Structure 1
Amino acid sequence: MNIIDSLKWRYAVKKFDSEKQLSEKQINTLKEAFNLTATSYGLQPLKLIVIKNKEIQKELVTHSWNQNQILEASHVLVICIPINYTNTEVEKYFSLLKKIRNTPDAIIKPFKDFLTADIERKTQEELTLWNKNQAYIALGNLMTVCAVEKIDACPMEGFIPEKYDEVLKLEAQNLKSVLVLPVGFRADDCYMKDLTKVRKETQDIVIEIN
């Protein structure tokens, strides 16, 4: 399939086939895709939790408004952001940049100073919102890669982040959950499987300026 056919094939799965599991290669593809996601300034203020543990998945169903996809899915991906975001992350980024590209300090300094000042002037609330926006970019990228790779998924905001954080012990890692993506394979009796996708006409949603 081409990319458009793959996107037409994709839908938010309501029932996964719990007997089917993603291969290690497929999971590695999703992990690499997450790592390659575009983020503001390339800072990557995100972490991906990959869960393949039925006991934990079952516990998380309760904190996901009883959406059983969490348990049925092969794996559950949880996108997280830092609780507290500081300029330490800027220092890490530029150390990595220098290591990979061997960029001289004289070239790095102006951009580094700009980013440091920009983060220092923002409140933690502003930084959280900024980082959460990066998580949505990552979610969109993962969903597209899933479609291309014929991996089914169901993006979720309908969960209780504080409870996920507690179950996954995220606070100890300075993390909090913001988005959830169970992945696997659609069940044959998923009621959404053969329904026609409902979308506006392209000309009704795209404005062209020539």
Structure 2
Amino acid sequence: MFTGIVEATGEITRIETIPGDAIELSVRVPASFVAEGRIGDSVAINGCCLTVVRMDGPQWLFQAGHETLDKTNLGDLEVGDAVNLERALPANGRLGGHFVQGHVDGVGRVAAIEPHADWSDYRFAADRSLLEYLVPKGSVAVDGVSLTVVDVTAEDFSVALIPHTLQVTTLGRRRVGDRVNIETDILGKYVRRFLERVPLAGLTAPPGENPN
């Protein structure tokens, strides 16, 4: 489990295709990660939960299978790219964002960026199957960053990003057309599943795919 509060950014140093339509990613992590890091640790990379399979100082190796590559933007990465990093939330940790599982629901695209003096409006286009779980003032994780939804339309949603978020995450490097990982709020998924299975007062969720 994660919080969507990115701890640092890392750098992709190697990408290699491995059997099973999978890839290995070597990521240079910050020094603050190295002392406490262990093989088997879970780390969210651009919001996608991956397992540390090998460590060589600050060089950490991860593997991503075909399902992960189909559902996320990890297959778009190139050597030299920066990625958002967050280690799993410890039991005594502070929940500064919202509950993020690291199970990316799908990929959206940056549809528009509108800078302002003290913030920037970002609009992300996404499939309806993702948008139906978003509500204004609700939470969403974009590339692993916990954000508050401003508004939702039939085609996209918007968020307002402060300069700090743009500086300490990769969102400040995103451009219109870039693909981003989207994970909707787990609470919305469970509410929908409940309404599909146990109608209340004749009210049910609209027909559609069941949540993952």
TM range (shorter): under 0.3
Q: TM-score, normalised by structure 2?
A: 0.27
More helix by proportion, 1 or 2?
1
Q: TM-score, normalised by structure 1?
A: 0.27
More strand by proportion, 1 or 2?
2
- Whose radius of gyration is greater, 1 or 2? 1
